[in-house]
Structure 1
């Protein structure tokens, strides 16, 4: 299963650059790019560390429970949109 888009969405949702995540995972930025573009498959330990560092443990659980990637991506997108809208409402005092 290709997980690059899921990994990238989790990283972006957490607000980390490829360089920042690479530093946290003790890998090269080029490895992060390869994982996200499905050129290289992350080991289970890298996958786990990725999810922990991006606060996306629910994605790891969903992935290992066999939920398809499209459903996972839809949930991530909804969470990001909800966070943005909630932040705007907070700033506006609504």
Structure 2
């Protein structure tokens, strides 16, 4: 399963750089990059910690339930666009 794009979207939605996320997760920035580029698969505990830190538990639930990555990304983007639209009004 390809986690990279979804975890990257969760990180960006939460406003964290790769360096900031790595610091909070006690891993290297290069590891964050490898995971986001699907060159390394995160352990279940790292995946859990990443989603909790970025407040993206919905992502973890969607993966467990078998939702595909594209649908998850579309849902994340609709939330971001809705937030920005509401903020600008």
TM-score (norm 1): 0.92
Higher relative contact order (CA 8 A, sep 6+): 2
CA RMSD for the aligned pairs?
A: 0.6
Structure 2 unmatched runs, 5+: none
Number of residue pairs matched by the alignment: 89
Where 1:7 maps in the other structure, the secondary structure is helix
User: Which structure has the bigger radius of gyration?
Assistant: 1
Query: Which residue of the partner structure matches residue 69 of structure 2?
Result: 69
Where does structure 1 differ by over 3 angstroms across 4 or more consecutive aligned residues?
Answer: none
Structure 1 unmatched runs, 5+: 90-94
Query: Which residue of the partner structure matches residue 60 of structure 2?
Result: 60
